[in-house]
Structure 1
Amino acid sequence: MGVDIIELFSRPAKDPVMASSFPLMNSGWTVTLILVLYLAFVLKLGKVFMQNRNPYNIKNVMLVYNVLQVIYNVVLFLYGLDMIIINPVYNIRCIEVLPLDHPIKATERTLAYLYLLNKIIDLLDTVFFVLRKSYKQITFLHVYHHVLMVFSTYWILRIYGGSGQFHVMGTLNTFVHSVMYAYYFMSALSPGLKDSLWWKKYITEIQLIQFFILLAQSLIVLIFNRSCKFPIFLQYVQLTQATVMIILFGKFYINSYIKPKSKKSQ
């Protein structure tokens, strides 16, 4: 089994163009190392590094980072929306990875790869928390979500050569992140806005809606369209993860917005 894992990590991506021309896609070890270093830094090494240091003032860095993230995610969202609604190239009931000779395969390939890079860039969110000593924001949900998005996106692209059914997830996710990073920018620009709970509340509600849509998408395929050629196993993965995220984000929503209101009304 160990040999099989080593072979899998060393095997290039299924899409030969992606394997030869896109950095990170010819070996699974690099992304794995990135995630291991990320976890080591945000869970232990970063706190050790900051132990005798004052929080860094990285306001300007965060402002630039958040603006660039808004632009990045809006562009990905518009391209993703175009491919499924405006100028559809997929059957929304069963989105399969486009064949290598498809006229817009290059667009699908590039869009999926840029989405992966964006998920890796997202890891900086937690690094900024460490450098500012905002440790309370480094929750299990936060770290789990970031690692899962990088890990799952990478291996889906490596093994299947495209996003397939997960194209909907990526499109919804970029919309959510466009709103989220806009909020982060406003908060960094004027910290007083953090007290405006309706911003965070609506972001969490949008995230929950996203996961319910993905849950419904998986159920539709599993119940009504079993002939869909996109791997059934991944349909169950999406179903499971959507359920887990609904539970985790739902718990966060209740603890952050429902319970505080109940205490105030007592």
Structure 2
Amino acid sequence: MLREAFSSVVKLHGYLQSRTDARVRDYPLMQSPVQMTTILLAYVIFAVYVGPRLMANRKPFSLNRAMIIYNLSMVLLNAYIVYEFMMSGWATTFTWRCDLLDLSSSPQALRMIRVAWLFYFSKFIELLDTVFFVLRKKQSQITFLHVFHHSFMPWTWWWGVSLTPAGGMGSFHAMVNASVHVIMYFYYGLSAAGPRFQKYLWWKKYMTAIQLTQFILVSLHISQYYFMEKCDYQVPLWIHLIWMYGVFFFLLFSNFWIQAYIKGNRLPAMDHKPNQNGSTPEPVTVVRNGKHCENGHANYANGKIAMGKVKNI
């Protein structure tokens, strides 16, 4: 029985390798799902079990300088990703409606493949958000949503990049998410810089509005697919998943907005020291990568929902 199970796994692995787009097969972490799945499993174990136990009897590290460098580096990286998505089609040849997957090896298609992979790879860099939480003993920030977002998002994106890397309607949400992360990481970079920069963070409330706008744009854009008579060269499963992501997180953040800014059920600020990966103690909602926010990302999948707080997507 074990032999049959092993044989089935080997066959599945071979099948996936044969279906991987040849244009992206040589990129790091794209040879098979085994590598990235191993990394993400190790991440979950570290975030939930190993990390907190290693820090249990240690003092939290002061990592403000590292966080400033990290957050501002992520600003630059995400800005570059947005630019490349635009130049690969969204600001040049795409119609913003039924934009097809490009199966050719044209310079534009290869450029789109590179930025799609870079967006995917950036999700592994973002795992450092959780590392900062652990080392600073901010375990309360490492919620189920935070860990789920940081692990599930790159896992799902491997399938998209490996099977359909060259554009299509599905790449729109990645461009929008990277745009939001530019703003988000800039905010958290300032927050990590210390009390003297608190006066420049008056726009914290609008981070939630930016996240809601992201979900609206993504959901409306992808919803066009359901009303078109014909839109070939798409993968319906990706369309459905993106629509569900957008709607789910829109509802999540709408509830946060109502609770925090309409009903006023926000926790009082305890002080002005940076919290999280550079965020302040007040509730902040951000969705990153569609991240349901983490480091302050609106973690389309990296978030915290507790007593009125939603963190990092």
Shorter-chain-normalised TM-score: which range? 0.7 to 0.9
CA distance in 1, matches of 2:143, 2:65: 25
TM-aligned CA distance change 1:86 to 1:233, over 3 Å: closer
By how many angstroms is 1:52 displaced? 0.5
Residue 74 of structure 1, CA deviation:
0.6
* Aligned counterparts, 1:184-223, within 5 A: 184-191=188-195, 198-223=202-227
Specify the alignment match of 1:131 in structure 2. Answer: 135
Confirm or deny that 1:39 pairs with 2:44.
Answer: yes
Aligned with residue 60 of structure 2, among 55, 58, 61 = 55
Give 1:106's aligned residue.
Answer: 110
Cα distance between partner residues in 2 of 1:129 and 1:32: 22
Q: TM-score, normalised by structure 2?
A: 0.75
Unpaired runs of 5+ residues, structure 2, are 269-313
2:16 is the alignment partner of 1:16: no
Residue identity in the other structure for 1:54: K
Whichever residue aligns with residue 71 of structure 1, its letter is L
Tell me the distance in 2 between the aligned counterparts of 1:179 and 1:257: 20
Q: One-letter code of the match for 2:53? A: V
Aligned length: 262
More helix by share: 1
Distance 1:225 1:241, change over 3 A: farther
- Over residues 145-203 of structure 1, what are the superposed CA-to-partner deviations in whole Å (9 max), with x where a residue is unaligned? 22232112111111223342221111101110000100111011024656987533222
Work out whether residues 129 and 135 of structure 1, in 8 Å CA contact, stay in contact via their aligned partners in 2: yes
Contact 1:156 1:162 (C-alpha < 8 Å) held by counterparts = no
1:249 aligns with 2:253: yes
3-state SS, counterpart of residue 240 of structure 1:
helix
Structure 2 contact 43–127 (Cα < 8 Å) conserved? yes
TM-score normalised to structure 1 length: 0.88
- Given residue 183 of structure 2, which amino acid in structure 1 is its aligned partner? V
* Distance change >3 Å, CA 251–CA 127, structure 1 → 2: farther
User: What is the alpha-carbon distance in structure 2 between the residues aligned to residue 26 and residue 263 of structure 1?
Assistant: 46
Which residue pairs with 2:237 in the alignment?
233
RCO (CA 8 Å, sep 6+): is it higher in 1 or 2?
A: 1
Q: CA RMSD in A?
A: 2.6
Task: Give distance in 2, aligned partners of 1:253 and 1:191.
Answer: 26
Correspondence 1:70 to 2:75: yes
In 2: Cα distance, 1:170 partner to 1:197 partner: 26
Q: Report the counterpart of residue 302 of structure 2 in structure 1.
A: none
Whether contact under 8 Å (2:218, 2:243) holds in the other structure is yes
CA distance in 1, matches of 2:46, 2:199: 29
- Structure 1 counterpart SS, 2:110: helix
Any unmatched runs of 5+ in structure 1?
A: none
